[in-house]
Amino acid sequence: MTRWLVTGAGGMLGQDLVLRLRRSGADVIALDRGHLDITDRAATAAALAQARPGVVVNCAGWNAVDDAEAKEDQALAVNGGGPAHLAAACAGLGARLIQPSTDYVFSGTASAPYGEADEPAPQTAYGRTKLAGERAVLAAMPDGGYVLRTAWLFGAHGPSFVTAMVRAEATRDTVAVVDDQHGQPTWTADLAGQIQLLAQSAAPPGIYHASSSGQTTWFGLARAIFELLGADPDRVTPTSTDALARPARRPGYSVLSHARWISAGLPPPPGWQHALRRAFPEIVAAERRRSASPPG
């Protein structure tokens, strides 16, 4: 039986992946940041040498997009250095490494879905650091490294745009949401399934896109959330990216093509609306539990 090792196991994707693998009967070692800091090369090598996994999935990462603008060196240590350390250790053991990445590696100015072979052109510190991680994995592991780009993640085990809109519906009369950014809302439980499928397939190493199918805007997603809550979607009003100034530039177009995924014989990713409907009861229940918990 293949042994899996999941880093960043306490995060939103990490929790869903570990849960899915354990439910399938897999042998899983789950390491959160308290158990393994991937920026520590020696500790990373030692942890993998002790565990001797067949597949490593790096769910650890610096995902604070705006904070990365002022702390790029720190973000690079996690998003670039961490994957490099894991790749070196995996290469030495003959293990495969799956490195989730992001739509932010592209410029966000396209008008058609980005393909796996399209040239990256990150416009933010976050995107640059994630691209560094991609390149480190592929350079060190040409025969066993997989980069899995995704986008607009949401799930029950952490904060996301979806949980923010569930909270906003309960506390605000109206909410203004940008309608000029286009992307693919992706449920972390679906992404966990895609990771497992990829690892168990004969797909060649390299870059794959693993977002939901279809596309929408943040405004369209917010309206869909309000509808699932039984609320009036007209309480969501459109605004522009420029009206909501943020330290990091947001991509205007983050839609990813799944051509290489499908050409590898893997099933097409589910549509974002279907994913949202399936995820929603769990997300709402988790958000209500958090809201009911006493502070501290």
Q: Which residues are catalytic?
A: 126
Q: Residue 220 falls within a domain, yes or no?
A: no
Mean pLDDT of 115-123: 98
Domain of 92, in residue numbers: 3-157+185-213+253-270
Residue-wise pLDDT for 214-254, tens only, equals 999 999 999 999 999 999 999 999 999 999 889 999 999 99
CA distances from 145 to 43, 51, 56, 166, 191 (A): 21, 19, 10, 37, 17
Q: Residue 240 falls within a domain, yes or no?
A: no
CATH number of the CATH domain containing 200: 3.40.50.720
Q: Is the pLDDT of residue 296 over 90?
A: no
Q: Residue 246 falls within a domain, yes or no?
A: no
Q: Residue 20 falls within a domain, yes or no?
A: yes
Q: Is the pLDDT of residue 292 over 90?
A: no
The torsion defined by the Cα of 149, 155, 160 and 162, in degrees rounded to 10, comes to 110
SS3 28: strand
Mean pLDDT of 138-151: 98
Decide if 112 contacts 80 (C-beta within 8 A).
no
Q: Residue 287 falls within a domain, yes or no?
A: no
CA distances from 110 to 115, 150, 203, 252, 284 (A): 11, 16, 27, 8, 34
66 CA to centre of own chain: 16
Q: What is the pLDDT of residue 139?
A: 98
Average pLDDT, the chain: 96
Provide the domain count of the chain: 1
Q: Residue 171 falls within a domain, yes or no?
A: no
Q: Residue 111 falls within a domain, yes or no?
A: yes
Q: Residue 230 falls within a domain, yes or no?
A: no
Mean pLDDT of 161-169: 96
Q: Is the pLDDT of residue 43 over 70?
A: yes
Residue-wise pLDDT for 244-279, tens only, equals 889 999 999 999 999 999 999 999 999 999 999 999
Q: What is the pLDDT of residue 261?
A: 97
